[in-house]
Structure 1
Amino acid sequence: MHIWDVFAKIKSSEDDKPAPEATTSQGDEKVASEVRTSSEDSDTESLSKHAQAGVQKIEATTSVWSKSNLILAYVLIWIIYFVSTMQQGMTGALTPYVTSSFQFHSLTAATSIMSSIIGGLFKLVLAKILDIWGRPQGFILMVFVLTVGLIMMAACQDVETYAAAQVFYWIGYNGMNFSMSIFIADTSSLKNRSFMFAFSTSPYIITSWISGPLASAFLNGPGFRWGFGTMAIIEPIVAMPLFFLFVWNYRKAKKLGVAPVHNSGRTTMQSIKHYLIEFDAAGLLLLCGGLALFLLPFSLYSYQSNGWQSAMIICMILFGGLLLIAFALYEKFIAPVTFIPFDLLKDRTVLGANILAAVLFIEFYIWNSYFFSFLQVVNNLSITEASYVGRIYTIGSCFWALVVGLLIRWSGRFKWIALYFGLPITILGCALMIAFRQPGVNVGYIAMCQIFIALGGGALVITEQLAAMAATSHQYVAVVLAVEGMFASVGGAIGSTVAAAIWTGTFPGLLQEYLPASAQGDYLTIYADITEQLSYPVGSPTRDAINRAYGESQRYMLIAAATILIAGVFAVLAWRDLNVKNHKQVKGRVF
């Protein structure tokens, strides 16, 4: 089925009770009349009276906007994804060179640990912003944070500033994409939602071919700073039209008397106190601080003269563990509003989906953290060539997700796709890489493994998100997707931590063991800088030694990645075999 066949299936739903009289144009009067007539026909189509303000606002918006506005919204979402995915791919390609410019190539994985933790946990805060204040407000806030991160990356003068910039960038990037995912969930029926999710991320199929050459152009031209600075200008420009489209339609709903009116009656200080409690700020700080302090030492210990016996490393692990215990106790006995909606996790389908999300991200970040560097150093690929191989997963998974979306629309079920196809082929691809990601092996075998993992990923990510959403109501869609995103991001942080721990625990020692005597004096420079590694000719004793060290370190990473996937099988087995074909979850004019 072509994408426009799905557009043709748009259905207009009924909405609220009769709106109060207002001064309207002839077109608005027609819309108001339709809304009033619809509500008279069916009470089930009225706004969710007990839902939070953000949910009511989006339901009011979708009740009054036109078919052309709905299609325009999806076109704008596709354009935003196109620009942001192109920029994200470019950032990934440039990161090893940014860290190497500060002589810290081995921190390539570590820079993403903190950003993954905070970026993932912040989704729960963002979900509350979207539910309490509104979808457009949360979206534009994330665009601002993303832009700040890009500006910081363009201006950074050391690896610490770059790591801080990554935190802002990933909060903004993940948050912007999360906001658009909620838009899609708000404006699509369950049976079509997987396909619309896949459609929105389909730009990856194109941008994966662009991001590598773009990174090369900036790296070989004006420099990586100009690359980040350019995108800091472009990102907000392409995001603003979607924001104004939703705001304009919401104001239209208010004008017609369809949108709810909320007045808290609180003073400014009372509102600040209310939102600090509502967002569980104390719990958020305890959890972020605890995870960061506990995970970071695994990638930083090799930089301390005493290694694991360093006072700083011991203190970080100790205080990180204490903060995590304090978080659990605070949420159990003190917090007026809990940060994590534990009641939702009692549903085995939701819990299984979240566990699978964590497993997939742990597995991915373990084998992917130094993959781009491996392709350049061991396989002697250029930045552009390495980006093509590295992006096979992205291209393949996004393409296959479209197919999976159509299969779900046809069958109404999703568990069988994950259990009998997604997981087996992902495990196969990851296991084969243990043998094929080694020096002297043709890069075509690596590409084959990437294709297997891509097909599995395209099936698993879509089904896992749908499982979480199908098990709850519209009021909790933002929250369950935020929890799923939190599990995924914390899983990514754990994966990066494992990768960094394996790398720093094996690669330096292997280098010292294999490097010829003539290169032993340059050991630290070779370890810290990818450009130094690439400077040795292919086939020289030093380059062979570097390649051999890479291969052995990668083998340990891949064994760990393949092993963790077994947990994903049990997670999927826990899902209920839900049928989404006739399940109505959202209101208004939706796909």
Structure 2
Amino acid sequence: MGSLTTEKSGLPIGWLYASVAAVAYVYSLDQNITPNYLPIAASAYGKHSSIGTIFTVESIINGVSKPFIAKIADVISRPSACMCSLVFYTAGYLMIALSSSITHVITGCMLYTVGHSGLNLVTDIIVADISSLKWRGFVLSLTGLPFLVNTFIGAEIVNAVLKRNAWRWGYGMFVIILPVVTLPAIYILHHKHHHRRMQSVSQNSPSNCSAAGTKQLEDEDGTYWNRLKNVIVRMDFGGLVLIGISFSLLLLPLTLAKSAQRDWTHPSMLVMTVLGVLFISVFMLNERLWTQYPLFPSRFIRNRTLLIIIFIDFLYFMSGWMRTNYLSSYVYIVKDWTPREWSYFNNATTFSLCILGPVAGLIQRYTHRYKTLQVTGLSIRLMQVASQVLIGAGGAFNVAGSRVASQASVPHTDLASVVAILALCTQFGSATGSATATKLWRTTLVPCLIKYLPWLTNEEIQELFGSISKVRQYPYNDPVRQGVIKG
């Protein structure tokens, strides 16, 4: 797509900045609100413990879909990638809002995750297009500034929605708001993309270029479906499917084993694990021997900076999701807070991350020391027991260092691919952490509830285990509520 800041397309570049800012604002409002609804939605169907499985699947889909969206952005256009993301985003929320079972909620989450990850990725790519590398960390952090306002606005909305048990409406509002804000941005991006292509045609007309150049131009100006076919080939679609299936088969048994008869000795659990190892072996062979466009080309594997960043961020996200997977539900029960206060707690880490993100970006801009910045952030993260705010502070410094270090280690032509690969690996880290947390939750909580609530029947225990909304119906000092807290 090239640098958008230098194009004279008839539309001021300020319009592009404004449209990206509007999308970033609504995206942040969504992220401050809807994650609070998922435990309530799952509890409405008596399946609260399934949110761990949902988070695991979401993380895998999040990672696998980003390279696909990145290739659409590179090979077709940024606006096409944005439109694709919007369709999945709104379809997922619509399905959750109209759901009649936990299956509908899970399916909606899967659709929404494709759109959410794509929109987030496209925003990052556009910001990278319109900013220089030395300012990249700072400018990327600015997209998080709306979280500072929406932490408080979102808390008021969550408080009003949950007091009326209107979580369906809470999802449904974004089915309307998101397209209204995103479609103007897509139009501006499409306008600029079309103008750039017309300039390319003018500068590379057949009278001014060689036969080879003409052939390349014809390829670039092929039909939409030919370009989509090119996307599928160049994105290593088979490799993405293989790695997605392999991680799903390896991680989902952690979240499902406890609900299966005979736990890990059940044949389905063993088959999934064996197939997971087999698929990841086939993926590695595919990368080295068969595919023309591998997800991890040899130049990336030889890039020590990129490999170290991937390793660090994998562990960073894994540890983060092991901690946060059920933290929101835990706090909802053990604290006698209103939904507003609960929402403030849930968003405290993001609030801190967004305050200190620009600070980290400016430090990186003027010191040019992304390694020191990242080590400082990870050191702060180790003090996470002190406060949600410290966790956010550590995240801000780590993210700024990771983004700039990974992007600085490759040429601009590999920018979108590196952004997507880093996202893929970090999301697999999130999936690993989420699956581990779910295994611990399902294994330990029910025996603890039986221990501290011996007067309840097994059916009543399962009902409490399946719904945090049911637990919240008991007053804070009620023996049942206190027994759950002890458990």
Fold-level match, TM-score > 0.5?
A: yes
Give the whole-Å Cα distance in 1 for the aligned partners of 2:371 and 2:274: 41
Conserved? CA contact 1:93–1:212, under 8 Å: no
Pairing 1:410–2:363 present: no
Task: Give TM-score scaled by structure 2 length.
Answer: 0.92
Equivalent residue in structure 2 for 1:478, among 416, 427, 434: 416
Paired residues for 1:277-292 under 5 Å = 277-292=233-248
Pairing 1:171–2:114 present: yes
Give the whole-Å Cα distance in 2 for the aligned partners of 1:105 and 1:222: 16
Equivalent residue in structure 1 for 2:269, among 313, 321, 331: 313
Pairing 1:345–2:301 present: yes
Equivalent residue in structure 2 for 1:390, among 346, 354, 358: 346
Give the whole-Å Cα distance in 2 for the aligned partners of 1:296 and 1:121: 16
Give the whole-Å Cα distance in 2 for the aligned partners of 1:413 and 1:253: 36
Paired residues for 1:140-159 under 5 Å = 140-159=83-102
Give the whole-Å Cα distance in 1 for the aligned partners of 2:64 and 2:435: 17
Give the whole-Å Cα distance in 2 for the aligned partners of 1:221 and 1:544: 25
Write 1 or 2 for the structure with the bigger share of helix.
Answer: 2
Name the counterpart of 1:426: 381
Conserved? CA contact 1:294–1:320, under 8 Å: yes
Conserved? CA contact 2:158–2:343, under 8 Å: no
CA positional deviation for 1:230: 1.6
Structure 1 residue runs without a partner (length 5+): 1-56, 433-447, 550-591
Conserved? CA contact 1:369–1:496, under 8 Å: yes
SS of residue matched to 1:343 = helix
Conserved? CA contact 1:58–1:135, under 8 Å: no
Conserved? CA contact 1:361–1:495, under 8 Å: yes
Equivalent residue in structure 2 for 1:526, among 445, 464, 467: 464
Give the whole-Å Cα distance in 2 for the aligned partners of 1:269 and 1:195: 37
Conserved? CA contact 1:112–1:166, under 8 Å: no
Conserved? CA contact 2:317–2:427, under 8 Å: yes
Change (3 A) 1:305 1:477: same
Deviations 1:253-302 (A, max 9, x none): 34545776832287898766544332222222221111112211111122
Letter in 2 for 1:542: V
Number of residue equivalences: 474
Give the whole-Å Cα distance in 1 for the aligned partners of 2:49 and 2:433: 15
SS of residue matched to 2:12 = helix
Conserved? CA contact 1:516–1:542, under 8 Å: no
Letter in 1 for 2:338: S
Conserved? CA contact 1:112–1:163, under 8 Å: no
Give the whole-Å Cα distance in 2 for the aligned partners of 1:69 and 1:390: 38
Change (3 A) 1:232 1:350: same
Give the whole-Å Cα distance in 1 for the aligned partners of 2:346 and 2:23: 22
Conserved? CA contact 2:453–2:483, under 8 Å: yes
Pairing 1:189–2:132 present: yes
CA positional deviation for 1:218: 2.7
Name the counterpart of 1:4: none
Equivalent residue in structure 2 for 1:125, among 57, 60, 68: 68
Conserved? CA contact 1:426–1:457, under 8 Å: yes
Paired residues for 1:77-116 under 5 Å = 77-116=20-59
Name the counterpart of 1:12: none
Give the whole-Å Cα distance in 2 for the aligned partners of 1:324 and 1:373: 33
Conserved? CA contact 2:75–2:231, under 8 Å: no
Conserved? CA contact 1:298–1:500, under 8 Å: yes
Letter in 1 for 2:421: V
Task: Give TM-score scaled by structure 1 length.
Answer: 0.76
SS of residue matched to 1:381 = coil
Name the counterpart of 2:285: 329
Letter in 2 for 1:494: T
Deviations 1:338-377 (A, max 9, x none): 1333421321111112222212211111111111111110
Give the whole-Å Cα distance in 1 for the aligned partners of 2:72 and 2:245: 22
Deviations 1:191-238 (A, max 9, x none): 111111111111111112222332332333372222222201110110
Change (3 A) 1:71 1:406: farther
CA positional deviation for 1:72: 2.9
Letter in 2 for 1:307: D
Deviations 1:412-454 (A, max 9, x none): 22211111x211111012xx3xxxxxxxxxxxxxxx5111111
Deviations 1:20-73 (A, max 9, x none): xxxxxxxxxxxxxxxxxxxxxxxxxxxxxxxxxxxxx333x4322489833332
Conserved? CA contact 2:72–2:231, under 8 Å: no
Range that drifts further, 260-269 or 212-221:
260-269
Give the whole-Å Cα distance in 2 for the aligned partners of 1:284 and 1:495: 21
Give the whole-Å Cα distance in 2 for the aligned partners of 1:110 and 1:381: 27
Change (3 A) 1:269 1:247: closer
Change (3 A) 1:537 1:349: same
Give the whole-Å Cα distance in 2 for the aligned partners of 1:533 and 1:259: 68
Give the whole-Å Cα distance in 1 for the aligned partners of 2:204 and 2:335: 60
Deviations 1:369-405 (A, max 9, x none): 1111111101222222111012110000111011111
SS of residue matched to 2:2 = helix
Letter in 2 for 1:496: S
Pairing 1:76–2:14 present: no
Deviations 1:490-536 (A, max 9, x none): 11111110110111111111111221324655111111110122223
Letter in 2 for 1:403: V
Conserved? CA contact 2:94–2:175, under 8 Å: yes
Range that drifts further, 348-357 or 169-178:
348-357
Give the whole-Å Cα distance in 2 for the aligned partners of 1:266 and 1:418: 44
Give the whole-Å Cα distance in 1 for the aligned partners of 2:395 and 2:8: 35
Change (3 A) 1:362 1:540: same
Conserved? CA contact 2:60–2:428, under 8 Å: yes
Conserved? CA contact 1:286–1:327, under 8 Å: yes
Give the whole-Å Cα distance in 2 for the aligned partners of 1:271 and 1:132: 7
Pairing 1:496–2:434 present: yes
Give the whole-Å Cα distance in 1 for the aligned partners of 2:164 and 2:84: 32
Name the counterpart of 1:230: 173
CA positional deviation for 1:313: 2.0
Conserved? CA contact 2:60–2:431, under 8 Å: yes
Give the whole-Å Cα distance in 2 for the aligned partners of 1:391 and 1:145: 25
SS of residue matched to 2:410 = coil
Name the counterpart of 1:208: 151
Letter in 1 for 2:52: A
SS of residue matched to 2:292 = coil
Letter in 2 for 1:530: I
Equivalent residue in structure 2 for 1:297, among 253, 258, 270: 253
Change (3 A) 1:342 1:260: farther
Structure 2 residue runs without a partner (length 5+): 206-216
Conserved? CA contact 2:95–2:104, under 8 Å: yes
Give the whole-Å Cα distance in 1 for the aligned partners of 2:227 and 2:5: 29
Change (3 A) 1:271 1:458: closer
Deviations 1:297-317 (A, max 9, x none): 111122123222222222222
Name the counterpart of 2:210: none
What CA RMSD, in Å, does the superposition of the two structures yield over aligned residues?
A: 2.2
Conserved? CA contact 2:96–2:168, under 8 Å: yes
Give the whole-Å Cα distance in 2 for the aligned partners of 1:256 and 1:414: 38
SS of residue matched to 2:29 = helix
SS of residue matched to 1:124 = helix
Conserved? CA contact 2:32–2:147, under 8 Å: no
Conserved? CA contact 1:250–1:259, under 8 Å: no
Which structure: larger Rg? 1
Paired residues for 1:368-387 under 5 Å = 368-387=324-343
CA positional deviation for 1:108: 1.4
Name the counterpart of 1:58: 2
